[in-house]
Every structure is written in C-alpha cells, then in structure tokens.
A and B are shown apart, each in its own frame.
Chain A
Amino acid sequence: MKNKYSIFSLIKNAFSQHENWKQAWGNPEPKKEYEAVIVGGGGHGLATAYYLAKKHNMKNIAVLEKGWIGGGNTGRNTTIIRSNYLWDASAGLYDHALKIWENLSQELNYNIMFSQRGVMNLAHNLQDVRDLKRRTHANRLNGIDAVWLDTKQVKEFCPIINISQDIRYPVLGGTLQRRAGTARHDAVAWGYARGADAMGVDIIQNCEVKGIKRNGDQVEGLDTTKGFIKTKKIGVVAAGHSSVIANMAGLKLPLESKPLQALVSEPVKPIIDTVVMSNAVHAYVSQSDKGELVIGAGTDAYISYTQRGSHDVVEGTLKAILELYPIFSRMKMLRQWGGIVDICPDASPIISKTNIKGLYFNCGWGTGGFKATPGSGDLFAHTIANDEPHKLNAAFNLNRFVSGDLVDEHGAAAVAH
C-alpha cells in the first residue's frame, strides 16, 4: 500500500499539522475499456472490486457510482452485524462475512471500528420464544455462537430494558450472539475504496449508468453519463435501483424497492453497550461512538424510490422504543432519513449469474445487507471471475425463483417485512 497508516505515519503527519495526508483514492476519468465494471460504489460494490483485484488478479476494473461512494444505503443503515440466521445456506453466507469482519481493519489497514458488542434479539410472545429457541439450536449446529437468555438474563445483559410483564408486549426472553456487533459504515466503504484504488481499480464517482449494450446474449458495455464504456463483464450492485439497471438489459428481477428508515437521537453519555433488536414490536437500538442512539424503523409498505419514508412508520417504532426503554422518553431525535432497499420474496439475497452472458447481479439484500458487506463482495467477486458461484452463494442464485428452492429467512430477518 502506498501510504500505510500507522502510529509512525500519524506522528510524522502531526509535524506538518496533518496537512500533507495523501488522498486515499483517486478521481480518474473512465477508460475506454475494462475487464470488468462494477455498477454501484457502495460497500458491496467496492468490496467486490477489492476482492476481484486481490484474489482474482483482475486489476483493469472500474467501479461506477452515480453519486459519491458510500452515499447510498452504506451510509444510511444502522450498522448492525450478526450471523444468527436460521437456514444452513444463510448461516454459511453471513458467518463467512462475520469471519472477514473480525480481521478487516488489519487487512485493509483502515480502522473500520468493528465492535463485537453483541446483538440481542428479543421475544415478546410464545411463538417468538419457540422461533428464537429453534434458531439458537440451528445456529449452534452451524457453529455460530448463540445463547438463549430468559427475561432476568436479558435484564442483566441490558439493564435499561423494561421487563415489566404489564406492558403491551412483555419481554419473554431473547437470544444473544456475542460475536455480533457494529462497525463504522462510512469507514467500510472508504477502507475498501482505498484498498481497491491501491491495486489499480478506477473508482469513478458521479457517473450514472444509462443503458446496457448487448450483442445477442452477451454484454458489450455500458452507456453512462461519462460516455460509453466497453466491457465483457458487468457486476451490478445497485441495491434499491437493481431493477432499474435490470430493466436496461431487458431483465426482470423478483424485487420490490421500498424506503427503509432510520433515525438518530441527540448524543448522550454511554447508556446502552450492545445492540437490541425486536422483531415483534419492530424496534431496534444501539448507541454510536458519538453517543447518538441509532434507531432502525421499518419499511413503507409500498414501492417507492423517494429516500424519505413515512412519518407513521417512525411513530410506530418510537412507541415501541419508549415502552421497552422508558428512560429514553425525554430524548430528542436529531435526524431521520430513508434508504431504498430491494426486497426479495424470500427475504434472502441474490448473488448470481443471469441468462445474459457477462451480466451478474448482487441484490435483494433487503433491510439487512450491511452485515454481509465483506462476504458479499468476496463471493460476488468469485462469481464474476469464475463465471460460477462459490459454494457459499450457490443457493442464492436467481434460478431459485423458478425451481422453488427458496431460502425463506423472513423469520430471521430481525424486522418483519
């Protein structure tokens, strides 16, 4: 790496008032032709480019981003990382990602502030209890750490939770994955961008894809706002806009795009040192290093690309938060925003080839894609480079909607959608 970050580089730059740090990645104009082009400069897209260059020796590649890198869902999510999914295929996929997260700051030489503070999923009714206990067993059979906590243990692990049995949805217990936690979302995009750039990947911002050129069933290139770019391999990682890109290639995907909201409070002193998620009442909360409560709300129940989200959805989430954490009743919310999530009918992602040669899709992550960023990039890079899926993403092919071999994770998505 050109400029390795270390305690020594920090001291050296302190002498020049930190004014001589080199740019972490370049701002190139697109070349006429690339070996592969990744559409979408979020965490998943940048990770894909990084692993294509690092593990598959494809250096002549570009990442096209219509806005600025990490400005879409990477910068809008609630940064929760966990791998406690029910089915074997999902457990394999998400735990692959979690294992990469554990060493990612060192690998990228970039502090992504990964914090294994644990993620607790609460149960509020008997069916929740049965489902979560079943999930705990399934997780442990797959080598994923998971424990069941009764109500008292929930209270011990997170003392500010209201465990009164008189509330509308009382806490009947919960599961805990201690290896789970959070990371700094922007740093993930920046770290991968810096790593990819250092290996020669062109990161081209403010470059929107307007069309995909095909010759028969083989892709030939992309029309963009910065001109035509020739390439034989296109990897689309466009989250909520995946269908828009698919339509350019004459393809339909099993996706619906909806606004998902999050909000943060004013910053306060440390009060909650873990992540608590609740599916039944649709509330999840953690605290950022700045001290803000980071709260995830639900999706709007209709297709929209507005990146806003409805007020009633936020209101519902805050009602649940206040019942579970009466201590937050005087907190003021600072900011609210929406991101457009692409939801699959089975709540599992698609990392797949298509019936068009050279066109690959990594989409359908719905409300929970951030946690998979490194694994998703690694497996998508494998799929693009070899024109074949890795065994960990073989089940997440597009053909499952034809064969019926779905990976139904509605129960394990921490929020209902």
Chain B
Amino acid sequence: MFVINCPYCGERDQSEFSCGGEAHIVRPKQPTELSDDEWAEYLFMRKNIKGVQFERWNHAHGCRKWFNMVRDTSNDKIHAVYKIGEKPPVI
C-alpha cells in the first residue's frame, strides 16, 4: 500500500485506485490481420518486470481518469506520474 499522486486530484491512498497493468501496449491497428501468435502477444504476454515498470492506473474512487505511472515493483517506490498521451519520462 502506498500513496499515489493523481495528476488530477493530488495525493490519495492507493486503495482509491485500480491498476491497469503494463502501459504502452499498443492496440493493433489492423486486428483482422493479426496471427494467433500476435494476438497472444497483445492479449496475454507481459514483461511482469521486477524493477522499474511503466503501468496504467485509474483513479477508480476519485476522478475516474486513467494515467500512467513509473513504479519500482521491487519496493513499490513511485518514480513518476504522467498523463495519458504524454511522453514517458526517461528513468
């Protein structure tokens, strides 16, 4: 459990948020042309990093907006929070 600095609402308890998993997985532009392997890669395969990870979060019990976060999964330290569409910071 930790405190997240929502880019729209400020600091709130993590329990107000829900995690949307790995960020920057691009939705296929031509889904009809994907092979089964490419679908599996898009839908299921994850880096599941131990260390610095880019991920999506939603302020579910607050403004309900999605944003991105850079967090170290080995100690839950948050390095950066940025809005959807913004360029990911270099960590």
Which residues of A come within 8 Å of B, CB atoms? 241, 243-244, 247, 252-257, 300-306, 310-312, 342, 345, 401-404
Contacts of B43 in A (CB 8 A): 345, 401
Contact B47 A345 (CB under 8 A): no
Asked if B36 is at the interface (CB within 8 A of a chain A CB), the reply is yes
Known contacts A243-B50, A255-B48; 19 further A-B pairs (Cβ under 8 A): A243-B49, A247-B49, A252-B46, A253-B46, A253-B48, A300-B1, A301-B19, A302-B19, A302-B55, A303-B21, A303-B73, A305-B50, A306-B76, A310-B14, A310-B15, A312-B13, A345-B44, A401-B44, A402-B39
Q: Which of B14, B44, B53, B75 is the one whose CB lies under 8 Å from A303?
A: B53
CA distance A253 to B46 in the complex (A): 6
Asked if B37 is at the interface (CB within 8 A of a chain A CB), the reply is yes
Asked if B45 is at the interface (CB within 8 A of a chain A CB), the reply is yes
Contact B21 A402 (CB under 8 A): no
Q: Which of B18, B19, B45, B76 is the one whose CB lies under 8 Å from A252?
A: B45
CA distance A345 to B14 in the complex (A): 23
Asked if B90 is at the interface (CB within 8 A of a chain A CB), the reply is no
Q: Which of A254, A306, A342, A404 is the one whose CB lies under 8 Å from B75?
A: A306
Contact B76 A253 (CB under 8 A): no
Q: Which of B14, B18, B37, B50 is the one whose CB lies under 8 Å from A244?
A: B50
Asked if B74 is at the interface (CB within 8 A of a chain A CB), the reply is yes
6 smallest CB-CB distances across A and B, nearest first, come from: A310-B1, A243-B48, A302-B19, A254-B44, A252-B45, A402-B40
Contact B45 A253 (CB under 8 A): yes
Interface residues of B in 46-69 (CB under 8 A from A): 46-50, 53, 55
Contact A305 B73 (CB under 8 A): yes
Tell me whether A255 and B46 are in contact in the complex, defined as CB-CB below 8 angstroms, given that A303-B53, A310-B1 are known contacts.
yes
Contacts of B14 in A (CB 8 A): 302, 310
Contact A252 B47 (CB under 8 A): yes
Tell me whether A257 and B37 are in contact in the complex, defined as CB-CB below 8 angstroms, given that A301-B18, A303-B19, A304-B76 are known contacts.
no
CA distance A256 to B44 in the complex (A): 10
Interface of B is mostly: mixed
Tell me whether A256 and B46 are in contact in the complex, defined as CB-CB below 8 angstroms, given that A301-B19, A312-B1 are known contacts.
yes
CB 8 Å contact bits of B5-44 with A (1 = contact, 0 = none): 0000000011100110100000000000000110111011
Tell me whether A241 and B44 are in contact in the complex, defined as CB-CB below 8 angstroms, given that A301-B19, A311-B1 are known contacts.
no
CA distance A304 to B37 in the complex (A): 27
Contacts of A253 in B (CB 8 A): 45-46, 48
Contact B15 A247 (CB under 8 A): no
Chosen A-B contacts, 19 in total, with CB atoms closer than 8 Å, are A243-B49, A243-B50, A244-B50, A252-B47, A253-B46, A253-B48, A254-B40, A254-B45, A255-B46, A256-B21, A256-B46, A257-B48, A301-B18, A303-B21, A305-B73, A306-B73, A311-B1, A403-B36, A404-B36
Contacts of A306 in B (CB 8 A): 73-76
Interface residues of B in 69-91 (CB under 8 A from A): 73-76
CA distance A307 to B48 in the complex (A): 15
Contacts of B55 in A (CB 8 A): 302-303
Contact A305 B46 (CB under 8 A): no
Q: Which of B15, B19, B46 is the one whose CB lies under 8 Å from A243?
A: B46
Contacts of B74 in A (CB 8 A): 305-306
Task: Determine how close the nearest CB of chain A comes to the CB of B60; give it in whole angstroms.
Answer: 10
Task: Determine how close the nearest CB of chain A comes to the CB of B45; give it in whole angstroms.
Answer: 4
Residue of B nearest to A302 (CB): B19
